[in-house]
Protein backbone atom coordinates (compact mmCIF):
# COMPACT_ATOMS: atom_id res chain seq x y z
CA UNK A 1 0.00 0.00 0.00
CA UNK A 2 1.82 3.11 -1.22
CA UNK A 3 0.87 6.20 0.69
CA UNK A 4 4.04 8.15 -0.04
CA UNK A 5 4.41 11.35 -2.03
CA UNK A 6 1.54 13.73 -1.81
CA UNK A 7 -1.09 11.05 -1.21
CA UNK A 8 -3.24 11.93 1.78
CA UNK A 9 -5.41 9.84 4.06
CA UNK A 10 -9.13 10.32 3.80
CA UNK A 11 -10.13 11.80 7.11
CA UNK A 12 -13.79 10.97 6.68
CA UNK A 13 -13.15 7.27 6.30
CA UNK A 14 -15.26 5.17 8.63
CA UNK A 15 -13.09 2.11 8.22
CA UNK A 16 -10.02 1.39 10.30
CA UNK A 17 -7.24 0.72 7.82
CA UNK A 18 -4.10 -0.97 9.16
CA UNK A 19 -1.05 1.11 8.36
CA UNK A 20 2.69 0.57 8.40
CA UNK A 21 4.20 2.57 11.23
CA UNK A 22 7.88 3.17 11.81
CA UNK A 23 8.88 4.25 15.31
CA UNK A 24 12.30 5.92 15.50
CA UNK A 25 13.34 5.05 19.04
CA UNK A 26 13.35 2.12 21.45
CA UNK A 27 12.90 3.90 24.80
CA UNK A 28 9.77 4.27 26.92
CA UNK A 29 7.93 6.35 24.32
CA UNK A 30 8.89 4.13 21.38
CA UNK A 31 7.80 1.00 23.22
CA UNK A 32 4.53 2.51 24.43
CA UNK A 33 3.51 3.86 21.03
CA UNK A 34 4.61 0.66 19.28
CA UNK A 35 2.65 -1.57 21.67
CA UNK A 36 -0.51 0.51 21.29
CA UNK A 37 -0.38 0.66 17.50
CA UNK A 38 0.41 -3.06 17.18
CA UNK A 39 -2.45 -3.97 19.50
CA UNK A 40 -4.77 -2.03 17.16
CA UNK A 41 -3.65 -4.20 14.24
CA UNK A 42 -1.14 -1.85 12.64
CA UNK A 43 2.17 -3.15 11.32
CA UNK A 44 4.90 -1.69 13.51
CA UNK A 45 8.68 -1.55 13.14
CA UNK A 46 10.93 0.16 15.66
CA UNK A 47 14.17 1.78 14.55
CA UNK A 48 17.44 1.62 16.45
CA UNK A 49 21.15 2.18 15.73
CA UNK A 50 22.20 -1.47 15.87
CA UNK A 51 19.28 -3.95 15.85
CA UNK A 52 21.29 -6.99 16.96
CA UNK A 53 22.95 -5.08 19.82
CA UNK A 54 19.57 -3.64 20.90
CA UNK A 55 17.93 -7.08 20.85
CA UNK A 56 20.62 -8.27 23.26
CA UNK A 57 20.28 -5.41 25.75
CA UNK A 58 19.75 -6.95 29.16
CA UNK A 59 20.07 -3.84 31.35
CA UNK A 60 16.75 -2.63 32.84
CA UNK A 61 14.90 0.12 30.94
CA UNK A 62 14.08 3.56 32.36
CA UNK A 63 11.81 3.84 35.42
CA UNK A 64 12.04 0.13 36.24
CA UNK A 65 10.91 -0.97 32.76
CA UNK A 66 12.05 -4.38 31.56
CA UNK A 67 15.23 -4.70 29.55
CA UNK A 68 14.81 -4.29 25.80
CA UNK A 69 15.62 -7.99 25.34
CA UNK A 70 12.78 -9.02 27.68
CA UNK A 71 10.38 -6.47 26.23
CA UNK A 72 11.15 -7.55 22.67
CA UNK A 73 10.68 -11.22 23.55
CA UNK A 74 7.25 -10.40 24.99
CA UNK A 75 6.15 -8.29 21.99
CA UNK A 76 6.55 -10.70 19.12
CA UNK A 77 4.33 -8.71 16.76
CA UNK A 78 6.76 -5.74 16.71
CA UNK A 79 9.76 -5.70 14.38
CA UNK A 80 13.16 -4.12 14.97
CA UNK A 81 15.31 -2.63 12.21
CA UNK A 82 17.86 0.08 11.50
CA UNK A 83 16.61 3.66 11.39
CA UNK A 84 16.98 3.60 7.59
CA UNK A 85 15.02 0.37 7.08
CA UNK A 86 12.37 1.54 9.53
CA UNK A 87 11.91 4.80 7.64
CA UNK A 88 11.93 3.23 4.20
CA UNK A 89 9.28 0.65 5.07
CA UNK A 90 6.87 2.97 6.88
CA UNK A 91 3.86 4.92 5.72
CA UNK A 92 3.82 7.03 8.88
CA UNK A 93 6.77 7.69 11.19
CA UNK A 94 7.03 8.62 14.85
CA UNK A 95 10.10 10.37 16.23
CA UNK A 96 10.62 8.87 19.69
CA UNK A 97 14.34 9.48 19.87
CA UNK A 98 16.31 11.42 22.45
CA UNK A 99 16.03 15.12 21.59
CA UNK A 100 19.79 15.63 21.53
CA UNK A 101 20.13 12.77 19.03
CA UNK A 102 17.07 13.39 16.85
CA UNK A 103 18.91 15.11 14.00
CA UNK A 104 21.46 12.26 13.92
CA UNK A 105 18.59 9.75 13.95
CA UNK A 106 16.92 11.47 10.99
CA UNK A 107 20.28 11.58 9.21
CA UNK A 108 20.63 7.84 9.75
CA UNK A 109 17.04 7.31 8.57
CA UNK A 110 17.96 9.05 5.32
CA UNK A 111 16.35 12.00 3.56
CA UNK A 112 15.13 9.84 0.68
CA UNK A 113 13.35 7.47 3.08
CA UNK A 114 11.73 10.41 4.87
CA UNK A 115 10.53 12.25 1.78
CA UNK A 116 6.77 12.68 1.72
CA UNK A 117 6.29 10.84 5.03
CA UNK A 118 4.15 12.16 7.84
CA UNK A 119 6.29 12.23 10.99
CA UNK A 120 4.76 12.63 14.44
CA UNK A 121 7.61 14.33 16.31
CA UNK A 122 7.42 13.63 20.04
CA UNK A 123 11.00 14.52 20.95
CA UNK A 124 11.89 17.28 23.38
CA UNK A 125 15.25 19.09 23.32
CA UNK A 126 16.03 18.37 26.95
CA UNK A 127 19.60 18.95 28.10
CA UNK A 128 20.49 17.04 31.27
CA UNK A 129 24.20 17.94 31.13
CA UNK A 130 23.82 20.10 34.25
CA UNK A 131 21.56 17.65 36.06
CA UNK A 132 17.91 18.01 37.02
CA UNK A 133 15.83 19.93 36.15
CA UNK A 134 17.01 19.87 32.53
CA UNK A 135 17.28 22.98 30.37
CA UNK A 136 16.35 23.24 26.70
CA UNK A 137 19.08 22.96 24.08
CA UNK A 138 17.05 25.17 21.73
CA UNK A 139 14.29 27.67 22.58
CA UNK A 140 12.67 31.07 22.09
CA UNK A 141 13.56 31.75 18.47
CA UNK A 142 13.84 28.14 17.27
CA UNK A 143 12.79 24.64 18.26
CA UNK A 144 13.77 21.03 17.67
CA UNK A 145 10.69 20.56 15.49
CA UNK A 146 11.84 23.40 13.24
CA UNK A 147 15.42 22.14 13.15
CA UNK A 148 14.20 18.75 11.94
CA UNK A 149 11.82 20.28 9.38
CA UNK A 150 14.58 22.58 8.05
CA UNK A 151 17.11 19.75 7.79
CA UNK A 152 14.60 17.40 6.12
CA UNK A 153 12.31 19.69 4.12
CA UNK A 154 10.57 16.82 2.33
CA UNK A 155 9.48 15.15 5.56
CA UNK A 156 6.08 16.31 6.82
CA UNK A 157 6.77 17.03 10.48
CA UNK A 158 3.90 17.31 12.95
CA UNK A 159 4.94 18.18 16.48
CA UNK A 160 2.61 16.48 18.92
CA UNK A 161 2.34 14.33 22.08
CA UNK A 162 5.53 15.87 23.53
CA UNK A 163 3.60 17.57 26.35
CA UNK A 164 2.46 14.41 28.16
CA UNK A 165 4.13 11.29 29.50
CA UNK A 166 4.21 8.12 27.45
CA UNK A 167 1.29 6.35 29.14
CA UNK A 168 -1.03 9.32 28.60
CA UNK A 169 -0.05 9.63 24.93
CA UNK A 170 -1.89 6.43 24.05
CA UNK A 171 -4.46 6.41 26.84
CA UNK A 172 -5.68 9.92 27.65
CA UNK A 173 -8.84 8.44 29.21
CA UNK A 174 -6.71 7.06 32.05
CA UNK A 175 -7.06 10.47 33.69
CA UNK A 176 -10.50 10.85 35.26
CA UNK A 177 -11.10 14.06 33.32
CA UNK A 178 -10.34 12.52 29.92
CA UNK A 179 -11.04 15.53 27.71
CA UNK A 180 -7.76 17.24 28.45
CA UNK A 181 -5.84 18.90 25.64
CA UNK A 182 -3.33 17.78 23.00
CA UNK A 183 -1.57 20.07 20.54
CA UNK A 184 -0.49 19.60 16.95
CA UNK A 185 1.54 21.96 14.79
CA UNK A 186 3.28 21.70 11.45
CA UNK A 187 3.52 23.22 7.99
CA UNK A 188 1.53 20.57 6.11
CA UNK A 189 -2.24 20.64 6.65
CA UNK A 190 -2.76 17.14 5.26
CA UNK A 191 -0.05 15.76 7.55
CA UNK A 192 -1.74 17.39 10.53
CA UNK A 193 -4.97 15.77 9.39
CA UNK A 194 -3.32 12.34 9.40
CA UNK A 195 -1.78 12.99 12.81
CA UNK A 196 -5.09 14.23 14.21
CA UNK A 197 -6.87 11.13 12.99
CA UNK A 198 -4.28 8.88 14.65
CA UNK A 199 -4.53 10.86 17.89
CA UNK A 200 -8.31 10.74 17.90
CA UNK A 201 -9.11 7.32 16.47
CA UNK A 202 -6.15 5.24 17.62
CA UNK A 203 -5.23 6.95 20.89
CA UNK A 204 -8.55 8.48 22.02
CA UNK A 205 -7.72 12.20 22.19
CA UNK A 206 -10.85 14.37 22.12
CA UNK A 207 -9.58 17.94 22.47
CA UNK A 208 -6.88 18.45 19.82
CA UNK A 209 -5.75 22.03 19.21
CA UNK A 210 -3.97 22.92 15.95
CA UNK A 211 -1.55 25.68 16.96
CA UNK A 212 -0.44 26.46 13.39
CA UNK A 213 2.86 26.01 11.60
CA UNK A 214 5.99 24.27 12.86
CA UNK A 215 7.29 27.42 14.56
CA UNK A 216 4.56 26.78 17.15
CA UNK A 217 6.70 23.86 18.37
CA UNK A 218 8.62 26.52 20.32
CA UNK A 219 5.58 26.86 22.55
CA UNK A 220 4.99 23.17 23.27
CA UNK A 221 8.69 22.43 23.74
CA UNK A 222 9.05 25.43 26.08
CA UNK A 223 6.23 23.99 28.21
CA UNK A 224 8.68 21.27 29.30
CA UNK A 225 10.45 23.37 31.96
CA UNK A 226 7.04 23.80 33.63
CA UNK A 227 6.15 20.13 33.03
CA UNK A 228 9.23 18.87 34.90
CA UNK A 229 8.50 21.21 37.82
CA UNK A 230 4.89 20.06 37.99
CA UNK A 231 6.18 16.49 37.94
CA UNK A 232 8.45 17.30 40.87
CA UNK A 233 5.64 19.03 42.76
CA UNK A 234 2.91 16.45 42.11
CA UNK A 235 5.10 13.36 42.36
CA UNK A 236 3.39 11.80 39.36
CA UNK A 237 3.53 12.10 35.57
CA UNK A 238 -0.19 11.43 35.28
CA UNK A 239 -1.34 15.01 34.65
CA UNK A 240 -1.99 17.28 31.68
CA UNK A 241 -3.22 20.68 30.62
CA UNK A 242 -6.90 21.19 29.93
CA UNK A 243 -7.79 24.34 28.00
CA UNK A 244 -10.98 25.76 29.44
CA UNK A 245 -12.51 28.22 26.98
N1 LIG B 1 9.49 9.48 28.41
C2 LIG B 1 8.38 10.20 28.26
O3 LIG B 1 7.35 9.92 28.90
C4 LIG B 1 8.36 11.33 27.26
C5 LIG B 1 7.26 12.19 27.22
C6 LIG B 1 7.21 13.21 26.25
C7 LIG B 1 8.26 13.34 25.36
N8 LIG B 1 9.33 12.50 25.45
C9 LIG B 1 10.41 12.64 24.47
O10 LIG B 1 10.35 11.48 23.65
C11 LIG B 1 11.67 11.13 23.22
C12 LIG B 1 11.93 9.67 23.58
O13 LIG B 1 11.99 9.55 24.97
P14 LIG B 1 12.30 8.13 25.65
O15 LIG B 1 12.34 8.40 27.10
O16 LIG B 1 11.37 7.11 25.13
O17 LIG B 1 13.71 7.68 25.07
P18 LIG B 1 15.17 8.34 25.08
O19 LIG B 1 16.00 7.58 26.06
O20 LIG B 1 15.09 9.82 25.24
O21 LIG B 1 15.65 8.01 23.59
C22 LIG B 1 15.89 6.70 23.22
C23 LIG B 1 16.21 6.61 21.75
O24 LIG B 1 17.16 7.62 21.36
C25 LIG B 1 18.18 7.00 20.57
N26 LIG B 1 19.47 7.66 20.79
C27 LIG B 1 20.01 8.08 21.96
N28 LIG B 1 21.24 8.60 21.75
C29 LIG B 1 21.49 8.47 20.42
C30 LIG B 1 22.58 8.84 19.58
N31 LIG B 1 23.67 9.42 20.07
N32 LIG B 1 22.46 8.58 18.26
C33 LIG B 1 21.36 8.00 17.76
N34 LIG B 1 20.29 7.62 18.51
C35 LIG B 1 20.36 7.86 19.82
C36 LIG B 1 18.26 5.59 21.09
O37 LIG B 1 18.78 4.77 20.04
P38 LIG B 1 19.09 3.22 20.27
O39 LIG B 1 17.78 2.51 20.13
O40 LIG B 1 20.05 2.89 19.19
O41 LIG B 1 19.68 3.11 21.64
C42 LIG B 1 16.83 5.25 21.43
O43 LIG B 1 16.16 4.67 20.35
C44 LIG B 1 12.62 12.11 23.89
O45 LIG B 1 12.95 13.14 22.98
C46 LIG B 1 11.81 12.66 25.05
O47 LIG B 1 12.20 13.98 25.41
C48 LIG B 1 9.41 11.53 26.37
Residue 32 burial class via C-beta count within 10 angstroms: exposed 0-12, middle 13-18, buried 19 and up: buried
Interval 145-169: pLDDT, tens: 999 999 999 999 999 999 999 999 9
Secondary structure of residue 225 in the 3-state scheme: helix
Q: How many residues does the chain have?
A: 245
Which atom in ligand 1 lies closest to the alpha carbon of residue 166? 3
The angle at the Cα of 232, spanning 226 to 233, to the nearest 5 degrees, equals 90
Pocket of ligand 1 contains residue 61 by CB under 6 Å: no
Nearest Cα neighbor of 209 from 147, 160, 157 is 160
pLDDT of 64: 86
Check residue 101 and report its DSSP letter.
Answer: G
Position 6 in a domain: no
Position 214 in a domain: yes
Alpha carbon distance 23, 13 (integer Å)? 24
217: CB partners within 8 A, 6+ apart: 121, 143, 144, 145, 146, 159, 185
Alpha carbon distance 220, 56 (integer Å)? 35
Position 158 in a domain: yes
Average pLDDT over residues 65-69: 95
Number of domains in the chain: 1
Q: Higher-confidence residue: 62 or 220? A: 220
Cα of 39 from ligand 1 centre, angstroms: 22
pLDDT of 16: 66
pLDDT confidence tier of residue 178, bands split at 50, 70 and 90 = confident
Position 8 in a domain: no
Which atom in ligand 1 lies closest to the alpha carbon of residue 54? 39
> CATH number of the domain that 65 lies in?
3.40.50.720
Position 169 in a domain: yes
Count CA atoms within 13 Å of residue 66 on its CB side. 12
Q: Pick from 26, 28, 29, 50 the residue to mutate for probing ligand 1's pocket: most ligand atoms within 8 Å of its CB.
A: 29
Lowest mean pLDDT across 6-20, 25-39, 78-92, 136-150: 6-20
Position 15 in a domain: no
Full residue range of the structural domain in which residue 181 is found? 20-234
Position 74 in a domain: yes
Position 75 in a domain: yes
Interval 30-64: pLDDT, tens: 999 999 999 999 999 999 999 999 999 999 988 88
Torsion sign across C-alpha atoms 45, 215, 202, 155: negative
Amino acid sequence: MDRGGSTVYLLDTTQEVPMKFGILGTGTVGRTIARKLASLGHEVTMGTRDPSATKGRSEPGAWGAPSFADWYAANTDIHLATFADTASGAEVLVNASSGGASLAVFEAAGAANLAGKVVLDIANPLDFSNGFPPSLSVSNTDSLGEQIQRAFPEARIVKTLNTVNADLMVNPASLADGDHTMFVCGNDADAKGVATRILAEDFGWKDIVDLGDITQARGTEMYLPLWVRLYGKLGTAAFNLKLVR
